[in-house]
Amino acid sequence: MRMDIVTIFPDMFKSPFAESIVKRALEKGLVELNIVDLRRYTHDKHRQVDDAPYGGGPGMVMKPEPFFEAVEDLKNPSLKTVVVLLSPAGEVFNQRMARSFLAYEQIIILCGRYEGVDERVHQHLADKIVSIGDYVLTGGELPAMVLTDALIRLIPGVITADSTAEESFAEGLLEYPHYTRPASYRGMDVPAVLLSGDHKRIAAWRKEQALKRTLKYRPDLLEDNGSGVLD
């Protein structure tokens, strides 16, 4: 899979992808990550990407032309591509959406800044508008990292299939609780069933715990199967 992230702050992406699982996926060539400076697609001497809003009001708005030119340049016509614009106005990102992006061979992610991006980019360039939650960040770079991280770990071969099949949201529930050594710490004991070696009982206990945790922390997941959590 090829991912292109279009931003005015390409340096922000240096460290998050230079460690651990994402780093290994890049090294193995399971994903090709292309961080693109939006200013490459400006033509004036100040490399301007923003301008004052029509109609007045605070702040600056990101101009449409650099985004359109960037997408035209980056889109590989032989790949199945989706153009994602990050915006608080978008559909809220979740695990189902992350999985749905696996159907594409190229994802172009557009990061906004300032007051946001010219509406024509929303209406005529983006295939999908995505928010990472109901709050406002200063830019689309952190959301782009969230999307990229969530997606890369789902790419076959990046981590073991068992890990992504059993984790939270994979089956509409939160994952069961985990414990490791020591078996007893400051009077807090690991549930005896996990020490029993009885795999059937352990599996049944984990199923029950997943349900209990979901009821306790995220009852909405059980109420609304259309929430985008179930696969």
Binding region for ligand SAM (CB under 6 A): 86-89, 111-113, 115-117, 131-133, 135-140, 143
Cβ neighbour number for residue 137 with a 10 Å cutoff: 15
Q: Residue 74, CB half-sphere, CA atoms under 13 Å: how many?
A: 30
Smallest separation (angstroms) from ligand SAM to the CB of 95: 16
Distance CA 111, CA 87 (A): 8
Nearer to ligand SAM, 112 or 172 (CB): 112
If the CB atoms of residues 63 and 113 are measured against ligand SAM, the closer one turns out to be: 113
CB of 5 to ligand SAM, least distance (A): 12
Least distance (Å) from ligand SAM to the CB of residue 167?
23
Identity of the residue, 50 or 171, whose beta carbon is nearer to ligand SAM in the bound complex: 50
Number of H helices, E strands in the chain: 8, 9
Q: Closest residue to ligand SAM, Cβ-based?
A: 112
Query: Whole-angstrom Cα distance, residue 78 to residue 104?
Result: 12
Residue 222 tokens read as: 């059980």
| Assigned token pair, 48 | 């301007």
Q: How far is the CB of 118 from ligand SAM (least distance, A)?
A: 10
Nearest approach, Cβ of residue 143 and ligand SAM (Å): 4
Kindly list the distances between the CA atom of residue 46 and the CA atoms of 1, 71, 97, 148, in Å, as whole numbers in the listed order. 34, 21, 38, 30
